[in-house]
Chains A and B, each alone.
Chain A
């Protein structure tokens, strides 16, 4: 039972946490690239190209990290923070 929970927890932390992180990354990197002077749609394209690699990277880390609590915190928290920052940027920037 315990090992079943551990397996589900590990997969969920890496896959769902990774998804939240990739989602936040896409929003923040697009608006960040735009704020730094890239044309908006180019910043967006570049971010989408990188998104699969970013997701892959954090997924691998999610499986390699010692404790899933850290994975949840970094990926879930980081993704949410990036999404919130992007949301705020979209409202203040031009």
Chain B
């Protein structure tokens, strides 16, 4: 029975990993990049290369811009296509419902967001209102609106980060579902991996790169899997948990009236109006409320800066202002104070979180990583890369184990998987770096500048897949594809070129950014160069050994009994 269980786990591990490993590779790689999403934004939009700044005066700097926020075209298009009945009114005729202004210790910009109340009836009868969204960007020190960069694609937060959770597949949210399924497969792969290899402790210390490649690949797969196990489990689990309300809307579907009733009770207890009054209302000095909030945090022994200011029911008699602390020094977020907009009196202070709520906040914070701790941030980045190595070596092991057998039988299986692995490992890196290079060398005033960057990304990725397929003949003959080495060299060139292009187009070379301590840009350049160097080294090693079978004796198949 125990043996049967291990075999069924091995079956699950192999086939779930094969089918969803590609998606996992994408999710983990872009998740890893998202650890430094704001820094990549600074690199990709040079106009925003400034030091992070505290939240400026709301009354003087932010308030005048609130009326300027309008729904974004993409948001209008999405609502029109999927959410509402009938034609939407023009964007400037949809009234502002809620607004918020957000910054953080990593952001030199103030984002002002608007949530607009769409008058149309929703298609989904269980939804009360449909909203559309807009935002604008303000420089915290000059107080200028940065119109020119608002519509510009910020590679970190607007391309790499969404890639991480929805693969840019918006059509009926299919990207979210694929990522969710892949996350579940990752948890299942961790459980089954542990069941398959019970010698966890020993595998922590086992890597034999001089052994035949099959063995060395499996060693590396096990080693990275075991070392990164807590990271892999917690990040996958918290990611699924964050999206669980979307994936499993059972309570919304079956107990909508209970939710509404409890919502009303909660609002009544807190005194925060759930709905607008429908009458206009004033807005007292928000700066005074902000000063009061800071004084209250200081009095509690947790002095801090303001992370966000939100006004719910903007312009209405029921409006209230929420002021949140920038949680630089803790994992969970919280400590929000709410004031009546018209008078500035304190309405409600979020109570200390109950154990369940505190746990939820901690799990969210663990995934979103808004805290200020650079050592930990780099550790999370390293954990992400280690996870990618674990996923990639899983693929390589699959190919390595089967290539001779498939070649002998004339089956294309190993060849196809190897092609996909080429696209998923060096190919994905090439596409990412090519996009960053395009971001620097294409003129920013080019019509469709953003669209061209995205095209470069997708087309380059497709090209690496084609290249992998063309070069995979050797795998079909039981050998190794030359695509690996060639794409490593391409990646090395592109990575170096991207760092040089940053210098050429902005003047911010490493000498300057390091000397002035502007680490967001220096860090991205250094990672590009380190990646290029690693790729060159890998390309060199593959060139030496890639097509050779070191005749170190055939690998006995019974050495890996548990892999089906």
Contacts and interface: CB of A to CB of B under 8 A. Distances in A.
A93 to B, nearest CB: 7
A7 B360 contact: no
Contact of A31 (B4, B8, B255, B357): B255
Identify the interface centre among A53, A56, A86: most chain B CB within 10 Å of its CB: A56
Chain A contact surface mostly: helix
Contacts, number: 97
A53 B9 CA distance: 17
Interface of A: 7, 11, 14-15, 22-24, 26-27, 30-31, 34, 38-42, 44-49, 51-53, 55-56, 59-60, 63-64, 83, 86-87, 89-90, 93-94
A83 B250 contact: yes
A57 B360 CA distance: 21
Given A41-B357, A49-B363, 4 more contacts: A26-B251, A59-B184, A59-B188, A90-B257
Interface in B188-231: 188, 191-192
A55 B240 CA distance: 11
B241 A30 contact: no
A42 B354 contact: yes
A45 B250 contact: no
Interface in B230-280: 237, 240-241, 244-245, 248, 250-251, 253-255, 257-259, 261-262, 266
Nearest to B355: A42
Kindly name the residue among A11, A23, A24 whose own CB sees the greatest number of chain B CB atoms within 10 A: A23
- Point out which of A31, A38, A45, A89 has the most chain B C-beta atoms below 10 A from its C-beta: A45
Contacts of B354: 39, 42
A44 to B, nearest CB: 6
A48 B238 CA distance: 11
Contacts of B187: 52, 56
11 contacts: A14-B12, A26-B248, A26-B250, A30-B251, A40-B258, A47-B251, A48-B248, A52-B237, A60-B188, A87-B255, A90-B257
Interface of B: 4-5, 8-9, 11-12, 15, 181, 184, 187-188, 191-192, 237, 240-241, 244-245, 248, 250-251, 253-255, 257-259, 261-262, 266, 354, 356-357, 359-360, 363
B439 to A, nearest CB: 36
Nearest to A86: B254
B181 A15 contact: yes
B248 A90 contact: no
A27 B8 contact: no
Contacts of B255: 27, 30-31, 86-87, 89-90
Contacts of B259: 40
B8 A63 contact: yes
Contacts of B253: 27
Nearest to B11: A63
Contacts of A34: 258
Contact of B357 (A23, A27, A42, A87): A42
B250 A42 contact: no
A45 B357 contact: yes
10 closest A-B pairs by CB: A90-B255, A27-B250, A63-B12, A26-B250, A40-B262, A42-B356, A52-B240, A48-B244, A64-B8, A87-B254
Contacts of A11: 15
A38 B356 CA distance: 10
